[in-house]
Amino acid sequence: MTLTIRAAVPADLPLIGALIRDLAIYEKLEHEVRFDPAVLGEKLFGARPYAEVVIGELDGTAQGFALFFHNFSTFEGKPGIYLEDLYVREAARGNGLGKALLAHLAALAVERDCARLEWSVLDWNAPAIGFYQALGARPMDEWTVMRVDGAALCALGSTARLGARQQ
């Protein structure tokens, strides 16, 4: 079996969309998938890409992906890579593709002088947690992920604009 990791190209957008939906089904979050394919394409492949995608193939057939972007550690004074999504189709699991995708990102992090590679995992996903720990990843239990989105994001953003006008 031939395993290949390659950078995604704009023609991969339908594939990326399908893999995102497959991941959402696996994570029981299909109801939260609401991206517009044109906007996703612009954000991944437009003039200012916000994220990158690599495609994992087995014998020339795409079976998984990793979507990632750079973040920054002020304590380290260096960038990092944040893995937003990693997914391997169920039929292709156990062939080393997930490990190859993570190893590819680790190599990119080293090549780009990043301080770390990090990601979040759902706490119920014991198979993924075990897989990650076997690769040397450690949970950051002392941290809690916080999020502002939707109406709360718009409301918070509007307070910044009001504050700027008041000065």
Give 22's DSSP letter: H
pTM over 0.85: yes
Q: Catalytic residue positions?
A: 132
Q: Does the pLDDT at position 161 exceed 90? A: no
- Per-residue model confidence as pLDDT tens digits over 97-122: 999 999 999 999 999 999 999 999 98
- Name, of 77-81, 123-127, 161-165, the range with top average pLDDT: 77-81
Contact in structure between 76 and 113 (CB atoms under 8 Å): no
Confidence at 144, pLDDT banded by 50, 70, 90:
confident
Please provide residue 104's backbone torsions phi and psi, each rounded to the nearest 5 degrees.
-60, -45
Check residue 145 and give its pLDDT: 85
Handedness of CA 133, 123, 109, 98 (dihedral sign): positive
CA separation for the pair 146, 61 (Å, rounded): 37
Confidence at 159, pLDDT banded by 50, 70, 90:
confident
Fold of 3-140: Aminopeptidase (3.40.630)
Q: Does the pLDDT at position 162 exceed 70? A: no
Q: 24 CB contacts (<8 Å, ≥6 apart)?
A: 30, 32, 33
Please state, in angstroms and as integers, the Cα–Cα distance from residue 165 to each residue in 18, 139, 160, 161, following that order: 43, 42, 9, 6
Q: Does the pLDDT at position 167 exceed 70? A: no
- Residues β-bridged to residue 52: 68
Q: Parallel, antiparallel, or unpaired: how do β-strands 3-7 and 52-58 relate?
A: antiparallel
Q: Does the pLDDT at position 133 exceed 90? A: yes
How many of the other CB atoms lie within 10 Å of CB of 121?
16
Check residue 166 and give its pLDDT: 53
Q: Does the pLDDT at position 164 exceed 60? A: no
Check residue 120 and give its pLDDT: 93
Answer with the residue of higher pLDDT: 163 or 147.
147
DSSP strand E in the chain: where? Answer: 3-7, 52-58, 61-73, 78-88, 117-119
